[in-house]
Amino acid sequence: MESSSSLISELPQNQRSVNCSIAPMMTSESNRPFFIAVCTEVICELDPLTIAELFDELDDQWTLIDGLANVHEVEFNKSMLMPIIIRGWDKFRNYYNITSNPLMSFTYVGNSIFLIKLFNGSTPNNEYPRYHTLTTSCLKDLTFEVDMPDTSPITSKLILPPAFGIFFQTINHEYLRVCGGSNTITICKLVFKKDVKSNTRTVIITRGWRSFCFHNDISPKSLLQFKCDSIMAKNIIFVQKVYRRY
């Protein structure tokens, strides 16, 4: 009998089911781009970091192949800020008789083709991937809200709030790859300006910022949400306009 850590994709077709055990830990089997997702009922959220790096070579039609060479065609919504699988997802879940929210790995092999593995067990919210909108993990992505200055035209720099600036001082990146709603990446420079009298540093996004605002329809007085992973191992950050809460 298969253990609770068995891969669904390796089970015979008449045994493809999900039990209630905790999903096992997983690691990549190669140096290829790799991420973990949760097979939730309506949509499948994807890792924005991986999608941003692969974006230019990804089509909206993906091919998913499991360990038994079963092939599934699904549709990707072509979004950097909120990448998801849309059409074909219901059919995919039904094929494997998925009735809960198991974890699933995606390994990219090129030409919009991903090798997939499904893992037994329903996943609690605190074990959802860090990027998922429903995760309660202590490692979930960080968000910072920043008000755009009320100046027109938009200036070529953005002074960050103190807490946001302190975060950037800890991760020590000189440049950012800033992703926006236009599904483009803009390279922006970070400047750390020290005030000798107060012994504090102001962090400023400079070169590239005005271009990013232009291509993403960002105007004066906009409220922006910056989102990144908590350790920011890569210099990728996502920025979108959000509605103000009054």
- 108-126 mean pLDDT: 95
151 and 176 assigned to the same domain: yes
Helix intervals (H) in 98-237:
162-171, 209-215
pLDDT of res. 19: 35
13 and 64 assigned to the same domain: yes
112 and 159 assigned to the same domain: no
pLDDT of res. 31: 83
pLDDT of res. 16: 40
Average pLDDT, the chain: 87
Task: Give the closest residue to 113 by CA, choosing from 78, 66, 49, 43.
Answer: 66
pLDDT of res. 245: 66
Segments forming the whole domain that contains residue 211: 142-241
The CATH number of residue 155's host domain is 2.40.330.10
Predicted confidence (pLDDT) at residue 95 exceeds the cutoff of 70: yes
- From residue 171, alpha-carbon distances to 51, 53, 225, 235 in Å are 22, 20, 19, 9
pTM, rounded to two decimals: 0.84
Contact 188/232 with Cβ under 8 angstroms?
Answer: no
pLDDT of res. 3: 33
Predicted confidence (pLDDT) at residue 22 exceeds the cutoff of 70: no
pLDDT of res. 246: 58
Interval 168-227: pLDDT, tens = 999 889 999 999 999 999 999 999 998 777 778 899 999 999 999 999 999 999 999 999
For the chain, the domain total comes to 2
The phi, psi pair for 163, rounded to 5°, reads: -65, -40
- From residue 134, alpha-carbon distances to 81, 115, 131, 137, 203 in Å are 16, 25, 9, 9, 31
End position of a domain, from candidates 76, 92, 127? 127
Q: Would you give the end-to-end CA distance of the chain in angstroms?
A: 57
